[in-house]
């Protein structure tokens, strides 16, 4: 049986992590790009050394780990510096994910959860792309209620990402997540049947 390589994305607060968790319940091998982005800069990695070389010792916390807030401060409003950081981090994240995807048992459904999958031009790497979508109002409400953001923060984070029309256009399947958790569980059940069908060639 061949392995099916699935990309999972969606705007902030739409419910990617929730969909990833339900797919894992069904047996998917889930790889999280946010987790990878942390793993590749752990103390002792060449990526952390490269970040310090480029941005200075000020991005290190007292215990030698990366001070994410200090680094975010330096790159937040500076596109050139952000791109410089991305040039260090992104190839290593891709390698981290690719290595683990390749190690999955044959016949697995490997789901890579990547927030900027569409923006990063990664759609062609996958057999199947899932986009999780929810209305902006629903996303703002979740980010404010469950993530402690202010309404302004939530709106500006949403505005900084690709518009949902562009993201949805790249999808093989859009999961609408405007409803309840129970509705999402049901939608992911149907999605899992679709994915296993694709893997099995039906």
Contact positions vs ligand ATP (CB under 6 A):
10, 12-18, 115, 142, 146, 177, 179-181, 184
Shortest Cβ 84–ligand ATP spacing (Å): 24
Q: How far is the CB of 161 from ligand ATP (least distance, A)?
A: 9
Q: In the complex with ligand ATP, which residue's Cβ is closer, 150 or 181?
A: 181
Buried b (16+ CB within 10 A) or exposed e, 6-40: bbbbbbbbbbbebbbebbeeeebbbbbbeebbeeb
| Cα dist from 113 to 66, 75, 173, whole Å | 23, 24, 15
Alpha-carbon dihedral sign for residues 35, 41, 47, 50:
positive
Q: What is the dihedral of CA 111, 144, 71, 123, to 10 degrees?
A: 30
CB of 52 to ligand ATP, least distance (A): 27
Are 132 and 175 a contacting pair, CB within 8 Å?
A: yes
Q: How far is the CB of 184 from ligand ATP (least distance, A)?
A: 4
| Cβ closest to ligand ATP, residue 78 vs residue 186 | 186
Nearer to ligand ATP by Cβ, of 41 and 154: the residue is 154
Q: Which residues pair with 109 in a beta bridge?
A: 4
Query: Which residue's CB is nearer to ligand ATP, number 127 or number 141?
Result: 141
């Amino acid at each position: 049986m061949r392995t099916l390589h699935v990309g999972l994305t969606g705007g902030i607060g739409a419910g990617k992590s929730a969909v990833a968790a339900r797919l894992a319940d069904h047996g998917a091998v889930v790889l999280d790009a946010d987790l990878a982005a942390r793993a590749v800069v752990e103390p002792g990695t060449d990526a952390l050394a490269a970040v310090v070389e480029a941005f200075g010792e000020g991005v290190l916390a007292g215990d030698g780990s990366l001070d994410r807030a200090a680094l975010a401060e330096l790159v937040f409003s500076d596109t050139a510096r952000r791109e410089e950081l991305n040039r260090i981090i992104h190839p290593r994240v891709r390698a981290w994910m690719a290595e683990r995807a390749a190690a999955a048992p044959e016949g697995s459904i490997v789901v890579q959860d990547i927030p900027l999958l569409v923006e990063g031009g990664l759609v062609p790497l996958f057999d199947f792309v899932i986009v999780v979508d929810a209305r902006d109002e629903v996303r703002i409400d979740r980010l404010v209620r469950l993530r402690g953001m202010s309404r302004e923060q939530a709106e500006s984070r949403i505005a900084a990402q690709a518009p949902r029309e562009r993201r949805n256009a790249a999808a093989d399947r859009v999961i609408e997540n405007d409803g309840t958790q129970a509705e999402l569980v049901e939608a992911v059940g149907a999605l899992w049947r679709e994915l296993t069908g694709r893997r099995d060639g039906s």
